[in-house]
Structure 1
């Protein structure tokens, strides 16, 4: 897939961006870290092309993987308590932080499977979904 993907093309991507907008921005280094190798810079490197209408499947896929890795449930990078603390407008309400993590994780997983699944299929098959279940041992 080499075509550009915009927020208008994929409502799940648009929803994930909306969720990320609920968090404080990259200026909050206590959340995102500092420098060229910070978690915030990893997100920005994939968000910029998407938000500028130049995003490709690889950008969406990496962004979704970053959400799973850095913001997903039970990750070791940015815990749910930090997400709750930096969510706009919820005043530290734990249930809101938990709901955000669940929603972001579910949405990110939807995007990862949409844009990565073709690469994950066994290479010796033609890519027909479920084909290997039909083969007899």
Structure 2
């Protein structure tokens, strides 16, 4: 088994990349920001790594967390209105922007829990282990 995760390996990852591709490209600084510490540069680093076939668990995890943090429902960085305006081919339809945010958030959460849950679980290596000794 390869240490690398490709779009062929994970259909949820492929779907998330497709969703991100529906947004205006990285050259649109009004969406992604400017400079080496911009939201766009964070996304670009992980997406380029994944698309080059060199993506590892941490790259997928970071990409998913970036979506949750910067594009997900209720984030304070890139508003749903700005996402709606930046969706290609949708013509600013508010329902499409809302649906995009919901879908991207749900898909990113699936990926984050798939690749991070063992780490988040910490010392409790067995799912549900805490409940076995509960009163």
The answer as to 2:99 corresponding to 1:99 is yes
Shift of 1:113: 0.1
Alpha-carbon distance between aligned partners in 1 of 2:107 and 2:54, rounded to the nearest angstrom: 21
Shift of 1:58: 0.1
1:129 to 127, 130, 133: 127
Unaligned residue ranges in structure 2 (runs of 5+): none
For the residues of structure 2 that align with 1:21 and 1:136, how far apart are their CA atoms?
A: 46
Separation in structure 2 between the aligned mates of residue 12 and residue 122 of structure 1, nearest angstrom: 24
User: Do residues 27 (structure 1) and 31 (structure 2) align?
Assistant: no
Name 1:66's counterpart in structure 2.
Answer: 66
Which residue pairs with 1:82 in the alignment? 82
Relative to structure 1, is the Cα distance of residues 30 and 135 closer, same or farther in structure 2, using a 3 angstrom cutoff? same
* Greater mean alpha carbon deviation, residues 127-136 or residues 15-24: 127-136
Q: After the TM superposition, list the runs of 4 or more consecutive aligned residues in structure 1 that deviate by more than 6 angstroms.
A: none
SS in 2 for 1:81: helix
- Root-mean-square deviation (Å): 1.0
CA-to-aligned-CA distance 1:79-136 (integer Å, 9 cap, x gap): 000000000010000000000000000000000000000001131x3x1111110114
Unaligned runs of 5+ in 1: none
1:59 to partner: Cα distance: 0.2
CA–CA separation in structure 1 for the residues paired with 2:127 and 2:11: 24
Question: How far apart, in 2, do the equivalents of 1:43 and 1:81 lie?
Answer: 20
